[in-house]
A and B are shown apart, each in its own frame.
Chain A
Amino acid sequence: MVEGKSLGLKLFRIFNYTLLISLAVVCLVPLIHILAVSLSSNVAASAGIVKLWPKDLTFKSYAFVLSKGEFLLSLWISVKRVLIGTVVSMLLTILIAYPLSKSGRELKFRTGYAWYFVFTILFSGGLIPWYMTIRTTGLLDSIWALVLPNAVPVFNVILLLNFFRGLPKELEEAAFVDGSGYWKTLWRIYVPLSMPSIATIGLFTIVSHWNSWFDGLILMNSQNNYPLSSYLQTIIVQSSLTNMSAEQLKNLASVSDRTVKSAQIFVGALPILACYPFLQKYFVKGMVLGGVKG
């Protein structure tokens, strides 16, 4: 009996490790491909013969990218956006999720409030009125245009409110008995106890700020203010070839240089890829740490 169990367990372990590791490898392949292309010669890249290992190894494209003012500038804008945007959004997310995690008795109109927010995920007015509102509020061409209009990530709010609900009620009641109000309880008990979920939501916020490109393109008035993702979008998406002159097409071909594109994609992805391992530590420790403090 005991033997059977441990054999089953062993088999399961082997299966589990094999599966997870092969999945990880499959997910790594495209990135390696991009890295290989960025380190290859132009001709090899445009012949499509670079697979997972660079051909005619060269670091030219990295030298080019790192000396390119616009690339570095947009990288800086992205970092700024993520920093400001994440702080603002996380504050708002926590402030909204906490009251909404209460029952209808504790917070009047709770369900109404919840739907007020959820409604905005489901309905939108489209590009033009959205642009006009942002213009009217005077945010165009400033970093705040990338932060304020989507400062309330409703999806994250709902997620966090569900996590908040999962915390034991007794802790809060104890705090109330000690004379803490809602504000204190939120910051002293709820936030520290929810580090895994807050880290998760923080990651989502960071990633969504890092990845969104459309708002940058529409709301910024010059390339100097584009965040990295918008900038990358302007270089990796191909213009329609139908309306161009020979001159333009010729020049386009020379920049459609895949090695440089790949280098920019790779360098551009590094900061965000580095975020996750850093946040991962909260996934394990959260509960224990909170438990001790509480």
Chain B
Amino acid sequence: MLKKGFKRQLPLHLMLLPGIVLVFIYCYIPMVGGIMAFQKFIPSKGLFHSKWVGLKNFEYLFSMPDFYQVLWNTVFIAILKIIFGLIVPITIAILLNEVGKSVVKRWVQTLIYLPHFLSWVILGGVLIDILSPSYGLLNQFLGIFSIKPIFFLGDNQWFPFTIVLSDVWKEFGFSTIVYLAALTAVNPSLYEAAVIDGANRWKQTWNITIPGILPIIVLMTTLSLGNVLNAGFDQVFNLYSPLVYESGDILDTLIYRIGLIDGQYGVATALGLFKSLISFALVSISYWLAYKIADYRIF
């Protein structure tokens, strides 16, 4: 009986096979490198002859004088990015959906996806101009409402928000795509039925659209939780400065500077492992919660 069942399942297992093999070779085998977290890794000695140092790399990391400040900055920026990185694209997707079929929809869709393709090295220079307190466009605009010029990139109070908002601006168009795709899967007959029932636009949105794309929203939320310690190296690296180290220095930039001086692979790997464990825990918990509460398997 069981054998027969398995035979029936066999095609499914076979479909998985090539992927499993590739992932094993190129993802699992390299994970051996995780042992570097417990070594004083020196390239010329290689992975298996470098000195073992136990938990010293972790101790080093956690005892750095600014570690907790940096950790806090990272989490603060990352969480804000996660929240806005979810809300904004979902909202925009729904608003775009309301536009109907027109040319406007196509153009808007295409244009908001542009910034995703520009690297932070390039955008960094542009942002310094736009956000400048003395001649920047944004401050000139705020000046109309008699708001005093704000030093967005140089003021510790503003810097984390500048990072979050500029990131949302760069990525929201691209993230919107997922939700737009999800929206196409919502059954149109549901809307027709709702209209007959006399439900207005808001009601339709709340009762049909959002529940329709809820699985994708839950999925995206869960996966983005994995980023709770990733505040975005490229972006911060290109926008921060000694003025805002206090609020803008994040784990990745910290490691980058350590590595510059002495290629500290051990410490970098230790940090990587620490980040992975936290992400793993968060993703597992939300996976488990969704299963327990809604009997729903996210993946």
Contact = CB atoms under 8 A, between A and B. Distances in A.
Max chain B C-beta neighbours (<10 A), residue from A17, A24, A207: A24
Contact of B22 (A99, A100, A152, A232): A152
B13 interface: yes
A272 B19 CA distance: 27
Nearest to A93: B19
A127 B269 CA distance: 10
Given A24-B107, A128-B33, A273-B117, A118 B26 contact: no
Determine the main DSSP class of A at the interface with B.
Answer: helix
A190 B265 CA distance: 45
Nearest to B296: A165
Contacts of A183: 11
Contacts of A28: 111, 114
Nearest to A128: B33
A221 interface: no
A124 B22 contact: no
B95 interface: yes
Interface stretch (A55-63, A68-76, A79-87, A104-112): A104-112
Interface residues of A, number: 92
Interface stretch (B59-67, B73-81, B119-127, B145-153): B119-127
A120 B122 CA distance: 31
A172 B109 CA distance: 33
Given A24-B111, A124-B276, A128-B43, A100 B299 contact: yes
Given A9-B201, A23-B112, A287 B265 contact: no
Interface string B164-189: 00000100011001101110110010
Nearest to A213: B119
Contacts of B28: 120
Given A122-B279, A236-B119, A99 B15 contact: yes
A196 B111 contact: no
24 contacts: A16-B95, A27-B111, A30-B115, A98-B15, A107-B12, A113-B16, A114-B297, A124-B30, A125-B34, A128-B47, A130-B30, A133-B25, A133-B30, A134-B26, A150-B26, A155-B223, A158-B219, A161-B299, A162-B215, A203-B177, A207-B116, A265-B122, A272-B117, A276-B113
